[in-house]
Amino acid sequence: MFGPFRLTNPLSGGLLWKIPWRLSRHQKYRHRNRLRAVDSVVATVDNALAKRGETMKKVVMWKAEMPTEQEMLPKDKYSVFDRKVKRYRKGIHKVPKWTRVSQRLNPPGF
């Protein structure tokens, strides 16, 4: 009755998915806020180190290659590349732990 392999409707076969295929606008709003929170953490760390005349490779690399929330395209904010999905895109809310991981870059051309 309990446990990971219990008989639920999605597991007992068929096409029943309880996760909607797209994000609601409120999910998108909260997701943007989370992206901005990460940006502000990186900016704070960078400023604090710069005041002491120090840099750090991780921060420098992040700033060089990761787009900020404003710079990201809506496509990259709300969906990710997935080679198994038709047209190679799935909603970002299908990523495991998507509210606590950074997923900003996708393969060029997809």
Partner 1 sequence: MPYFRITLMRSGIGMPQKVQGVLKALGLRKRMTTVYHPVSQSVAGQIMRIKELVDVKEMEHAVTKEQMREARRPDPGYYVERKGLAGDKLA
Residues that bind partner 1 (CB under 8 A): 34, 37-38, 41-42, 44-45, 47-49, 51-52, 54, 56, 58-59, 62, 97, 99-102
- Shortest spacing between CB 44 and partner 1, in angstroms: 5
Q: Residue 24 or 99: which CB sits closer to partner 1?
A: 99
CA 79/CA 30 separation, integer angstroms: 15
Q: Residue 86 or 100: which CB sits closer to partner 1?
A: 100
* Cα–Cα–Cα angle for 24, 68, 63, rounded to 5 degrees: 150
CA dihedral 95, 27, 110, 74 (to 10 degrees): -150
Fill in the DSSP letter of residue 86.
G
- Shortest spacing between CB 96 and partner 1, in angstroms: 9
Q: Residue 63 or 85: which CB sits closer to partner 1?
A: 63
